[in-house]
Amino acid sequence: MMIASDWLDQYLNINQTRFIDELCDLLRIPSISTTADHGEDIIQCALLVKKLLLKSGCEFADVLSTSGNPVVYGEVIPDQNKPTVLVYGHYDVVPADPTDLWETDPFKPELRHGRLYARGASDDKGQFFMHLKAMEILIGKKKLNTNIKFLIEGEEETGSPGLMPFMRENKNLLQSDIILISDGVMLSKETPSIETGFRGFCAVDLEVSGASRELHSGGFGGIVANPITLLSKMLASLHDEHNRICIPGFYADVLDLTDEERQNQHTSIVNEEEYARKIGVKEFWGEEGFNLTERITIRPTLEMHGILGGYTDDGIKSIIPSKAEAKISSRLVPNQSSRVVSEIITDYLKSIAPSAIELKTVCHPGCEPYTIDINNPYFKIAQKAIEDVYKKPPVLHKDGGSLPLCYWVEKELGIKSILMGFGLQEDNMHGPNESFDLDNFNNGIKTILRFHEYLERGSIQKC
Contact between residue 211 and residue 205 where contact means Cβ atoms under 8 Å apart: no
- 173/211 with CB nearer a second copy: 211
Q: Which is nearer to a second copy, 82 or 299 (CB)?
A: 299
Establish if 344 lies at the interface with a second copy (CB under 8 A).
Answer: no
Residues written for the chain: 463
User: What's the closest the beta carbon of residue 167 comes to a second copy, in angstroms?
Assistant: 22
How far apart CA 77 and CA 167 sit, in angstroms, is 19
**Within 13 Å and on the Cβ side, how many CA atoms surround 350?**
10
Q: Which amino acid is at 320?
A: I
Give the binding range for a second copy (CB under 8 A) out of 128-136, 219-227, 367-375, 376-384. 219-227
Among 36, 172, 414, 459, binds a second copy (CB under 8 A): 36
Q: Does 321 bind a second copy (CB under 8 A)?
A: yes
Per CB under 8 A, which of residues 393..412 are in contact with a second copy?
A: 399-402
Chain-centre distance of CA 210, in angstroms?
Answer: 36
**Cβ at position 205, least distance to a second copy in Å:** 8
We find the least distance from the C-beta atom of residue 317 to a second copy, in angstroms, to be 5
Applying the rule CB under 8 A, the residues between 252 and 291 that interact with a second copy are 279-287
Within 89-108, the residues that bind a second copy by CB under 8 A are 94-95, 97-98, 101
Check binding of 210 to a second copy (CB under 8 A): yes
Cα separation of 343 and 22, whole Å?
44
Site for a second copy contains 421 (CB under 8 A): no
Distance, CA of 406 to CA of 197 (rounded, Å): 9
Q: Which of 165, 218, 248, 289 binds a second copy (CB under 8 A)?
A: 218
User: What is the three-class DSSP state of 72?
Assistant: strand
Q: Which residue, 71 or 320, is less far from a second copy as judged by CB?
A: 320
Of 237, 263, 270, 350, which lies in the binding site for a second copy, with binding defined by CB under 8 A? Answer: 237
- According to the binding rule CB under 8 A, does residue 185 interact with a second copy? yes
Nearer to a second copy, 119 or 149 (CB): 119
Q: What is the smallest separation between the CB atom of 21 and a second copy, expressed in angstroms?
A: 28
Please identify, using beta-carbon distances, which residue of 78 and 286 lies nearer to a second copy: 286
Q: What is the closest distance, in whole angstroms, from the C-beta atom of residue 37 to a second copy in the complex? A: 9
- Binding residues among 137-156 for a second copy as defined by CB under 8 A: none
d(CA 418, CA 398): 13
Distance in Å, CB of 93 to a second copy, minimum = 11
Number of residues that bind a second copy (CB under 8 A): 98
Residue 398 sits at φ, ψ, to 5 deg, of -85, 140
- The beta-strand segments (E) located in 348-420 are 358-367, 370-371, 395-399, 417-419
d(CA 63, CA 78): 22
Neighbours of 383 (CB within 10 A): 20
Instruction: List all residues 6 or more positions away from 300 whose beta carbon is below 8 Å from its beta carbon.
Output: 199, 245, 250, 251, 254, 330, 331, 332, 333, 336, 341
Rounded-to-integer distance, Cα 92 and Cα 90, Å: 6
